[in-house]
Amino acid sequence: MTRSTVALLILIACVAALPLFGGAYALRLGTIACMYAVFALSWNIVGGFAGYPSFSTAAFFGLGAYATGILMNKGIPLAAAVGVSLLFCLLLAVILGAVLLRLRGHYFAIASLSLVEVFRELVNNATDLTGGGMGLNIPLVSGSSVLSDATFFFYAMWGLLLVTALTVIAVSVSKLGFGLNCIRQNETAASMVGLNATLYKAIAFGLSACFVGAAGGLYAAWVHYIDPSDVFDILYSVKPIVMALMGGLGSPLGVVCGAFLYLGLEELVWRNYIQIHSGVLGVLIILLLLFLPHGLVSLHVGRIWRGLTGRKAKHA
């Protein structure tokens, strides 16, 4: 195990101790922190390892939220509903990935962005199943008090983060991770040495979608009410990219640090500039891109950078 893997696991373990320190606010923040870290780690599989700039996080987040919400309304328990949502997102993303990841650069970015629109409109129009624009109420998970409910969802989201992190670590040292790395650097050469790039990319896209879908499911059950414009918010697609850029593309430890840092900034902005929070977020994004383009973990990011740049130049 490398040093950064150990550091990542220690960091995640520390997060688990959060309920010891706090009331409802700390728990809420902690749950969102875990959710963001799941987003960032998931995005990193396809965006960081394979080098495909995906904007589809919101699509699978919303899909997972609605899948879980609908199942729970049919009386299926939370754990099973989230599990089904995870598998559903995995399968759907593998199939979509096999098709969409034939596109590169801007074209892939736009196609993945469009997925969010398509899913949102589909959910919006399937009024019988989803309640359409009116939103969907989700039955409460029986908890004895508000606080124990909050603790439950915190640990559920934390557990999901742990599973995601372990999966990403496993991928990064496996043949799959090695192959995705090859694809990012030179896809032509990768298929020339016998790598089935379509299969690898589809699996990567599936893995990057399934945990996000599960997070959506937990989120839906946590907040009890979802509507399409909330869970299919394009910001959910952009945030993980900002987190990854903050922390350092490609490094699991980096993107998780980026997620936590991002949440900290977001909270700060929300509390102080509620009216103009998205504008302040915009300013932050621009400052980050201009002055810290290589993220916090910029140790070997320079090379990744060149890899991405080379890819772009080729398909410009």
By CB under 8 A, is residue 290 in contact with other proteins?
Answer: yes
Distance of CA 57 to the CA centre of its chain: 5
Q: How many residues bind other proteins (CB under 8 A)?
A: 69
Identified binder of other proteins from the candidate list 282, 292, 299, 314, rule CB under 8 A = 282
By CB under 8 A, is residue 314 in contact with other proteins?
Answer: no
Question: Which of 225, 273 has the CB closer to other proteins?
Answer: 273
By CB under 8 A, is residue 193 in contact with other proteins?
Answer: yes
121-140 footprint of other proteins as x/- string (CB under 8 A): xx-xx---------------
Question: Which of 224, 314 has the CB closer to other proteins?
Answer: 314
User: At what angle are helices 105-125 and 57-73 packed, to 10 degrees?
Assistant: 20
By CB under 8 A, is residue 264 in contact with other proteins?
Answer: no
> Residue 212 CB, nearest distance to other proteins (Å)?
18
By CB under 8 A, is residue 245 in contact with other proteins?
Answer: yes
N- to C-terminal Cα separation, the chain: 38
Question: Which of 224, 306 has the CB closer to other proteins?
Answer: 306
By CB under 8 A, is residue 75 in contact with other proteins?
Answer: no
Question: Which of 31, 112 has the CB closer to other proteins?
Answer: 112
151-190 footprint of other proteins as x/- string (CB under 8 A): -----------------------xx--xx-xx--xx-xxx
> Residue 141 CB, nearest distance to other proteins (Å)?
32
- DSSP states along the chain: --HHHHHHHHHHHHHHTGGGG-SHHHHHHHHHHHHHHHHHHHHIIIIIIS------HHHHHHHHHHHHHHHHHTT--HHHHHHHHHHHHHHHHHHHHHHHTTS-HHHHHHHHHHHHHHHHHHHHH-HHHH-GGG-EE-PPP--SSHHHHHHHHHHHHHHHHHHHHHHHHHHHHSHHHHHHHHHHH-HHHHHHTT--HHHHHHHHHHHHHHHHHHHHHHHHHHHSEE-HHHHT-THHHHHHHHHHHHH-TT-HHHHHHHHHHHHHHHHHHHHH-GGGHHHHHHHHHHHHHHH-TT-S--SSHHHHHHHHHHHHHHH-
CA distance 281 to 278: 5
> Taking CB under 8 A as the criterion, which residues in 82-101 touch other proteins?
99-100
Identified binder of other proteins from the candidate list 34, 46, 86, 113, rule CB under 8 A = 113
By CB under 8 A, is residue 274 in contact with other proteins?
Answer: no
Identified binder of other proteins from the candidate list 23, 24, 79, 106, rule CB under 8 A = 106
Q: Which residues pair with 225 in a beta bridge?
A: 137
> Residue 183 CB, nearest distance to other proteins (Å)?
10
The residue ranges that bind other proteins (CB under 8 A) are 47, 53, 99-100, 102-103, 105-107, 109-111, 113-115, 117-118, 121-122, 124-125, 174-175, 178-179, 181-182, 185-186, 188-197, 234, 238, 241-242, 245, 275-279, 281-286, 289-290, 293, 303-312, 316
